[in-house]
Each structure stands twice: as C-alpha cells, then as structure tokens.
Amino acid sequence: MADRLLTVAEAGEMLGTGERFVRRLVAERRIRYVKLGRPVRIPESAVAEYVEARTVEPVRRIRARYGKAA
C-alpha cells in the first residue's frame, strides 16, 4: 500500500508545530520529502520515522534507600 503524502501544513499538524519548522526540516534535509515540481510533500512514514528517531526514553535510576554517610 502506498504511503499517504502530506502537505507541509498537515505534517506540521502531525508534529504539533507550524509550517515554518517543517519547511526548515526540508531545507536542512533532516526529513524525507517528495518534490512534485514546486510543491513539497512529506510521506506519513517519514514523519513517523522522524518522531521515532528523536524519541528519548526516560532513564530510571534506583534511589539509594539511605542517604550518603557523613
């Protein structure tokens, strides 16, 4: 099944940002995109990959039961 192509505005909405941020990602080639003449479209999977690559998992630290000894 073919990947749905999103406009810059739709990609920005998916990311929770504005069009300007998405256009900067395209200009810096930090996200995959398709150039259809002048318009730019971003595959849905590219947005998902971008989010997945930049997701930071929390670090779980085990707290000591008692404080440091003096």
Per-residue pLDDT of the chain (70 residues; tens, 9 = 90+): 589 999 999 999 999 999 999 999 999 999 999 999 999 999 999 999 999 999 999 888 777 677 666 5
pTM for the full predicted model: 0.78
Amino acid at 68: K
Instruction: Identify the residue whose tokens are 């989010």.
Output: 51
Amino acid at 39: P
Q: How many CA atoms lie within 13 A of 29 on its CB side?
A: 0
- Taking a C-beta distance cutoff of 8 angstroms, is the pair 33, 26 a contact? yes
